[in-house]
Chains A and B, each alone.
Chain A
């Protein structure tokens, strides 16, 4: 196998592993094509299995012949390996460096991974657009499923099937696609059952500097308006950024050509700025200084919480237009694959109770992120520690998860899942044994034939034991729209991700377990009471001599 050439020293004995808040482990270090393994070869001691793909950066240090490799992971964990022998250390380090940055998709771990669990339901088939559309059809007849993109020729980042207004034919769609960035013509994102209003998303219109227009595009989005009703266009960029986009052929919908629409600009930052923000935030969280001022100013300078607030505010705005104003909404930014999806998916969390269930949230991620063409592979190839120059990396999805966590914190009984689920998704977007987040679009995934060659994350998640682990014990279905507070005082730092490795989480975990225990005990007692009552009722019927007054 070709990996063998990259592994100069496959095994070193006497390696010491140091991790914060955990006992050190001494054992044998092994490198395989996809894993870094440390085993103490003793019973009861945990082994370390680290995916090379999870390694973001490494540092080497030498004291005499003892080498130390500091491994910084994409899940933000930092571990230290003390390796006796300079040569061994150098060999291991260079192998890790190469193995963790392999570009070739065909060498990625999901293609080699064989599940050790029984797949009950194939996650690749769990959330098909056809099935989602059946739900829609049961609510309205105004939409149809178009296969205009069946060979990915109209829009390379869209799935083969998209929902569009019934009255608009495929030809119109093709023309509208030519007028939208990346061919991303407006498609249905969400149908609000309560009042029949809809949310659509697209790429920016290619108006350019001379104000190009496209009748088909206008027709397409006007087809979603009820007679006499106005709609809202939420442009996730500021006015000036949107203006500047004109020079590069992009732009926004002018009032003159879209008189039935009111445009609102928000200020969600572009991906490169978000990546920088993540790096600064993680650096602030890793700062060992004990100065309060330093921490607060670094936290402020990272701007992370500002981004969280801005995204949440935009999502609330979209939800408000739909639910409160009774208007339809079109959301776009530039490409329509990042900030747009943050807004449309969060708005659905706010509006639609179904998205707050475990299955529903998976469906949302599948629909609004994977099928909608968020380029996961580009965005998540590096995390906060990487030294190499970022290309397209950005924590767009992580920010979305952070926002969901904020809403979860504010409505702790309205979600079927706990924050464990969000953390799990964060981990798997950056490094995974599953094929779900590979590739950048439906078309790439289909070319790689991932549904045949890899296991879906959803196959793993939807097993009963995993569902139980990810469940929120406090959950009680809440059919209402949930409006989060976006005041800075209400937004918190997501400790479960950013301070996860910075403290001993034992007391917090134990407190959580205690809470789970109380809730489960309550259920047990309820059952017991019911059983006793039933038994008593039975005793009554078994005593025929007795009479009731």
Chain B
């Protein structure tokens, strides 16, 4: 709180982003949020409130003084942009300097996750962290098996500190091979299993670039790839996908890194797929936001801007790579080793998207969480650096995960029945990757997370999302769709890649459809469940009456079954009725996936 000089400023105007309208209200600054409360001049509608979490603020800008006051522009990581005009310059400066300090926490302890306290008991909190079990996930895939095993080489994070403890490798990969291979790979990230396609026993493995330079080789690393290849009898070779553009990979050779030389590795097929690096992606998204953020944008400038910022081109490149991976695995039955430079950005994107295309489980709500937990969180995507959680190097910030979410969205648009979740889940996850409200995405890797004791000190986002999963359901989802289409084959024609308005203009309401089909159908679907229950209740009552088991009926039945049951109970006592329909228990299963009703009938 010591950073807050002025906790409250009145008569602040909030300018609408894409029109000339404005509203006035009061600005509050708390330890965690910046809050704007619209002054209620008209009693007709509820006053608008905007809550901005400090962690969401990417930048604060104080513009030069105007006649109406001092403008303050705040850009958020969830793409909200707010433009305040504060009457007095001193107030504006106070807010400005407080925010500058507040939005750059220097230690993890300052993050919201450690103070966030939903009304939950300790047991619930712990259960939340146990929802996702990656060991069980590998079992689901059919691993360990006769060709792949769990290795304990990284139990203490000694071989690779950015990998998880539990790693899966070919049975034939001995410890010396693993250790040797890890020494030949950038950051020690040696090839390990991330997805196993049971139908063809083909594996998707991931690693970082080899330290090959111009001529270096490593026999253990070569044996490692050989072992991966041997673990798959369907194919004589293993694909090695370098997700970088060839030029970048070649440049890396000068720094003693690089890519696999096909002459040294037997039975590999090497392939570049050309996804640009984090810096290109960061600049690209910045340009995109500049384009769509301009007022009075013409259609031509919009389309030219979309083209020149390259964002959709990059999104398509990631999807294209995932399709390549999927085809190699599901059609050819070949195993694939994916890497980029360090194997935590592009590699995470391609492996997780590929798995999403191959395995319907990842298209369910729970499965999608497992996928993120596995390919992103556990394998050390540097969320803290990429999402700028602490005051760090701006060059490390990059929207790699946002881009992954967008790729998923593009697929949900092409396959509206294949996903259990709607885009609201993607938006909510994006929101919380940046909010630092839950422990899941804090820090850069598992080892650090354990050090921070996140499991003991913070809450899990997944538990929160599962509890309110009703909101994230896709009403058009068809569970049997996966039977006919276990593997998704998206079109890669550019016209199928669209600007994701609901992400990048999430808070610019004026641009959204005024009525939402999704919301409407979702409500109807929920109402269908309730109506089904009501019908069951009414039918029970009706049978009871017909068989003279309940001797009382009143119109109140017709309005509210529960209230009537109570009334019935009373009356039945008076009139010596024999059978009573007394209680209905509602039980929600732990993950909220289904509701069970049981009826107690007493004689």
Contacts and interface: CB of A to CB of B under 8 A. Distances in A.
A292 B288 CA distance: 15
A537 B558 contact: yes
B521 interface: yes
B299 A493 contact: no
A296 B571 contact: no
Interface of B: 18, 292, 297-304, 306-307, 310, 312-313, 316, 414-418, 475-476, 478, 491-499, 501, 505, 510-517, 520-521, 524-525, 527-528, 531-532, 534-535, 538-539, 541-542, 545-546, 551-555, 557-558, 567, 571
Interface in A496-530: 499, 502-503, 507-508, 510-511, 514-515, 518-519, 521-522, 525-526, 528-529
A522 B524 contact: yes
19 contacts: A292-B307, A292-B497, A303-B300, A482-B514, A488-B301, A489-B505, A489-B511, A490-B501, A491-B299, A508-B416, A518-B475, A518-B521, A528-B531, A528-B535, A532-B542, A536-B542, A536-B545, A537-B555, A546-B551
A396 B138 CA distance: 58
Contact of B539 (A489, A507, A532): A532
A300 B307 contact: yes
Nearest to B307: A296
Given A295-B493, A543-B545, 18 more contacts: A285-B495, A293-B307, A295-B495, A296-B304, A296-B306, A305-B299, A309-B298, A410-B515, A412-B515, A474-B521, A487-B297, A488-B301, A489-B501, A503-B493, A507-B418, A514-B476, A519-B521, A539-B553
B488 to A, nearest CB: 10
Given A507-B414, A536-B541, A414 B515 contact: yes
Contact of A297 (B307, B499, B524, B557): B307
B290 to A, nearest CB: 14
Nearest to A297: B307
Nearest to A519: B524
A503 B303 contact: no
A331 B70 CA distance: 43
A474 B517 contact: yes
Given A296-B494, A410-B513, A518 B524 contact: yes
A285 B18 CA distance: 30
Interface in A231-288: 285, 288
Contacts of B546: 539
B298 A488 contact: yes
Contact of B538 (A285, A308, A491, A536): A536
Contacts of A285: 495
A488 B313 CA distance: 19
B493 A521 contact: no
Nearest to B301: A488
A525 to B, nearest CB: 4
Contacts of B306: 296
Nearest to A484: B514
A485 interface: yes
B417 A514 contact: yes
Nearest to A540: B553
B538 A306 contact: no
B327 to A, nearest CB: 15
Nearest to A527: B531
Contacts of B299: 300, 303, 305-306, 308-309, 488, 491
Contact of A306 (B300, B496, B512): B300
A342 B227 CA distance: 68
A47 B458 CA distance: 64
Contacts of A414: 515
A533 B571 CA distance: 20
A294 interface: yes
Given A540-B554, A549-B571, A294 B494 contact: yes
A413 interface: yes
A525 B494 contact: no
Interface string A196-214: 0000000000000000000
A485 B517 CA distance: 17
Contact of B511 (A294, A474, A490): A490
A483 to B, nearest CB: 8
B478 to A, nearest CB: 6
A299 B303 contact: yes
B571 to A, nearest CB: 6
A535 B494 contact: no
Contacts of A502: 493, 495
A474 B520 contact: yes
B298 A522 contact: no
Contacts of B415: 507
Given A510-B478, A511-B476, A522 B316 contact: no
A413 B494 contact: no
A367 interface: no
B304 A297 contact: yes
A166 B514 CA distance: 40
Contacts of A293: 307, 310, 313
B494 A295 contact: yes
Nearest to A289: B494
Contacts of B494: 289-292, 294-296
Contacts of B532: 525
A525 B300 contact: no
